[in-house]
Each structure stands twice: as structure tokens, then as C-alpha cells.
Chains A and B, each alone.
Chain A
């Protein structure tokens, strides 16, 4: 059964059609790549799925439920984790606090419990801290639990952001250009890291990436879009040799 199914999705910003009649199907447990030139509409596709925009047309089906029109926090609570092109960790919170936030929608206590520090509140807070610490241990980030992200190297921040997305316990992890801004050495590490995440958590990964090395070594299947429209879809070898794709990337003159 497919985990995510997008039917004929179109999205317009005023007169600009950023995504046009897009169809997508993600199966459980695979790694998918979404590529295309700058401004092709890749991030917009992610924003549509995570609920920041409501598509002008079409339907998004996740895990057997229509999710278009839902607020982003409702989408997140249905187990979709996501990172951004630019790192968006909470700079003023510690790594641990960043991770703990994933429990916010399922706290199980309310404002009154906070004010009176009820047993329920104390138990839950303790559980949340322990769970977050366990996750950090899996990621070998325990030492950094009380650091603020801004004090960490960029490559580590990327990992923390991915760990934070995974703290939601997602079935689908969406990564928007995870290799952006990384050094060559860090990119190699990132590839291993994503492989490790995929095997350890047994989830579906869907990523946007400009670095072909990352896409080609990780993805089971790749879709290429340009001007919001699909121009190719296939396994890495098919994409590498597709003339349409080469044309879109290098411009008309190249062929």
C-alpha cells in the first residue's frame, strides 16, 4: 500500500503556477528523490504536503487519510517529520528542549496541571525528558543535550535537525536539501547518516537535493520537475541518462 499519494495537484501563487498536475506515490520503506532546477517548485511541493499551503487543485492522501487543508501541526501529529532548506532549529533552546517539543501535541496534561504541578504533569514531564534522552542516545548526541544549536558546527546542526524531525516518530521523513551548505567531507558523512537513519527507523524518506552524489547513492526512485511539471520519473540510472533531464539542468544550448 502506498504511504503517500498525491493526485493531480496544482498550486498557483497569483498568476504563477508553481506546481502543475503533479502525481506522486510513495511506498513504505523506500527512499525517494525530488530534483529539478532552482525555482522548479520542489519546496512548494513539500510545503503543500506539510500543510503550509492548501493546493489550488488535487488531493493529498497520507496513510489512508486526506490531509490537504489541514494545519501544519495537524499534519505533523499524523507522523510526518520534516527539515528545511535552511536549518530551523530553535536557537535559544537546548538540543534536548528542541527534541522534547515533539511531545507538545500529545502532552496529556493542561494549563491547570502546570499551575498546580499535579502528579500527572510531573509524571509526563519526566517521561518526555526520558524519551527525548533515549532518542539522543540513539543518535549519539547525548553529550550535546544541554548545548544550544548555535554553538554547534553546521554539520552537527543538520543531524540535530534530522533527529528532531524523527522525534515525532514519523512514518515519512521529508528532507529539503539536507546537504546544502555542507563541506565535501560532511556530505559523505551525511549520506551514511541518512542510510543509517533509514535502516534504524525503518521509515520512508523523501528528499530534495541538488547534489547528485547524494541523490544517486541513496534514492530508490527519482522524480524530476521543472516549472512545476514532472519531466521524468524512474530509477537513478534512467534519470542520469534522460535527455529531458539533462536539457532542463543544463539549458537548451547543451544538447
Chain B
């Protein structure tokens, strides 16, 4: 079958940029045209944030085959870091005083503030990555829960950033940006970051480098015997995963304008787990799809209030009982609709 190589070299049209760019422009047009109200915008932003959360958790739980249940903790680290940076640089606040930079500069620097949160969260991921060298499965799962608790309790006890009362002022940064240009900035950046996250994860998991992460799930001993430095790959997986969770956290903080530690407790982590298992472990399109479905479900259940915490775990139970492989198994959309393949496949290789 020598078409293995030729098939690979054939030039495919890549429709991804057109589909995504077009979609984003349509949404933007609808927002500016007043068709999409504030509420729908907020739902769209939550979809974007949830896409980042489920796709990033999928790196560890799906592709690497470990069971991390502390994703909310890394989201917290990113949320607080970028919120503090945001308030410190762009706003006048009773906690941190006058802004260090002219507030209007946020228009350019806002994405850096979000990325800053992601970087700090990535390093927070080391708290789990290093124990994972020697610890696996249930024991590692317990460590991830512990890490989640550590981050929540830490912030609860840091009075200078509000402790359990929470932290606010991020909306002022957004207002400063909107003063410069009347655009839905949080929506734009949420769309940009969620699209980028999915693309980066896709590239990572398709590269021979990233396959080192899935080689750990299938057989860690094989991985070592074939020269894969599994400790390094665990660090990469955990840091990319928690870093992206941090970016989601930063966006979340700026969408809401207010955060407190309990927004990122084990409940948040459970939401992330539901999304990953709903979509299918190791399926990136599954993660995206389930983030959309799950966000809608949450909105529909909003009137039920606390009862949603009966329904979400119940969903998890039913899911594990009747479709443990999730909506997509570990397939991608293009596996289910092979006709789509030529349009969404990468061109090289």
C-alpha cells in the first residue's frame, strides 16, 4: 500500500480557518447589530470557557489516561493571577492603589494578562506533575483533589486579596477597554482563546512529540523501553493542561467581574469531569461538543438552583452506566463523517 505516503502528500483544502473565522465574524456582526443580547453573549462566553476547560482536561484524563479531578484549582490560580494583574495595572482599587499603566492600554495588554494567569497556572500544575512520576491512578487522583483544596484554602486565607469574600474590579478593566473602542472585548477574546486552545491541543496530540503523552496511557513501560522520557511527557501534559485551565479561569474572572475561592472548588472540577466524560475521553471534537451541550444544559437548569447538583452527578452516573465512552468515544467528528475528512485534515504528513 504505497498510497500511504502519497495520500499524505495530497493537497487538501483546509476549511478550518474559513469556518471559524466566518463563524466568529457572524457572531460579532450579530452582536454589533444588536441581534444578540447581553444574556446570549454571556452564554457564548461560557461555552468558550467550557471548551477550553474540557479540551484541556482531556489532555490528562483522555489522552494520558490519568484521572485528574482538580481542574478547578488550576482555573483558580489563573483567575486570581490575571485578576490581580488586571486590577494592579489598569484600575484604581482600594487594595492595590492607583493603576500602574494607563487604563486604556488594556486594549492591547489584556491578552497578556490572561496569558500571565495561564503561565502561573501551568507552574501550579507541577504540584501534580511531580508526584505523578511515582504515583498513578487512584492515588494520583487523590493528590489532584488535595491540590484543588490547597489552592482554595490558600486563597481563602489570603486576606489581602479578599479571602473568602472574593476579589473584584476586573470589570473596570473591561470598561476601560470599551472606552477606547465600543466592542464586545470579553466575547472576542474568549472566542480567540478557545479557538487557539483547541488548535494547539490538536497540533500537540497529532505530533510524534504529543503521541508520547498517549503512549503513557496505552503502556508506560513500552514508552520507556522505546526511549520516551515519560516524566518529561507528564510534565508537558500537566503543565499544558493546567496552563489552559488558568487561561479559562482568567477569562471567567473577567466575564463575571467577581470571583471567590468557592467558585473553583471541587464542584467546578466535577463540571470539568462531566464535560470530558460526556464528550468522550481522547476525543477533541467530543470535548468541544460536550462543552456546548453542557453549557446549554446548565442554562436550562438555572431555575432549578441547587437541584442542579443532584442532576449533574446523576448525569455522570447515567453516562457511566449506559455510555461510558461518551458521545464520541475516542473518535473525532471526521471519523464519524468520513466525507468531511478532506476538508478538515491537516495538509502535511
Contact = CB atoms under 8 A, between A and B. Distances in A.
Contacts of B349: 122, 125-126, 129
A89 interface: yes
A128 B225 contact: no
Given A90-B219, A168-B226, A133 B236 contact: no
Given A91-B218, A92-B330, A121-B207, A142 B1 contact: yes
Interface in A123-157: 125-126, 128-130, 133, 142-143, 145-146
Contacts of B5: 129-130, 133
B42 interface: no
Interface in B331-349: 348-349
Interface string B69-87: 0000000000000000000
A229 to B, nearest CB: 27
Contacts of B1: 142-143, 145-146
Nearest to B201: A115
A76 B224 contact: yes
B225 A104 contact: no
Interface string A33-62: 000000000000000001110000000000
B215 interface: yes
A102 interface: yes
Given A104-B228, A142-B1, A90 B215 contact: yes
B214 A88 contact: no
A103 B215 CA distance: 13
A114 B218 contact: no
Interface string A66-108: 0000011100110000101000111111001100111111110
B226 A164 contact: yes
B55 to A, nearest CB: 15
Nearest to B8: A129
A120 interface: no
Interface string B191-234: 00000000010011001111110110111011111111110000
Interface centre among B203, B222, B227 (most CB of A within 10 A): B227
Contacts of A107: 208-209
Given A88-B221, A114-B209, A101 B229 contact: no
A73 B349 CA distance: 26
B121 to A, nearest CB: 16
B207 A101 contact: no
Contacts of B223: 73, 101
Contact of B211 (A97, A117, A121): A97
Which among A105, A114, A121, A126 has the highest number of chain B CB atoms within 10 Å? A114
B4 interface: yes
Nearest to A136: B4
Contacts of A117: 203, 348
B2 interface: yes
Nearest to B216: A90
B contacts with A: majority SS: helix
B230 A101 contact: no
A71 B224 contact: yes
Contacts of B209: 104, 107, 109-111, 114
Nearest to B349: A125
B210 A114 contact: yes
Contacts of A93: 211, 214-215, 218
Contacts of A122: 348-349
Contact of B204 (A100, A115, A128): A115
A97 B204 CA distance: 15
A84 B225 CA distance: 10
Contact of A76 (B203, B204, B218, B227): B227
Nearest to B204: A114
Given A114-B209, A145-B1, A145-B4, A72 B225 contact: yes
Nearest to A99: B226
Interface in B6-29: 8
A128 B347 CA distance: 16
A100 B204 CA distance: 15
Given A115-B204, A128-B208, A73 B4 contact: no
Contact of B226 (A51, A96, A101, A110): A101
Interface string B238-259: 0010000000000000000000
B227 A105 contact: yes
Interface in A184-212: none
22 contacts: A71-B229, A72-B224, A73-B226, A73-B227, A76-B224, A88-B219, A90-B215, A92-B217, A92-B218, A100-B211, A101-B212, A101-B226, A101-B228, A107-B208, A111-B209, A111-B240, A114-B203, A129-B8, A130-B5, A133-B5, A142-B2, A168-B227
Interface of B: 1-2, 4-5, 8, 200, 203-204, 207-212, 214-215, 217-219, 221-230, 236, 240, 330, 348-349
Given A73-B224, A90-B215, A96-B4, 13 more contacts: A52-B224, A73-B230, A88-B225, A89-B219, A92-B214, A100-B211, A101-B223, A105-B228, A111-B209, A114-B204, A122-B349, A146-B4, A168-B226
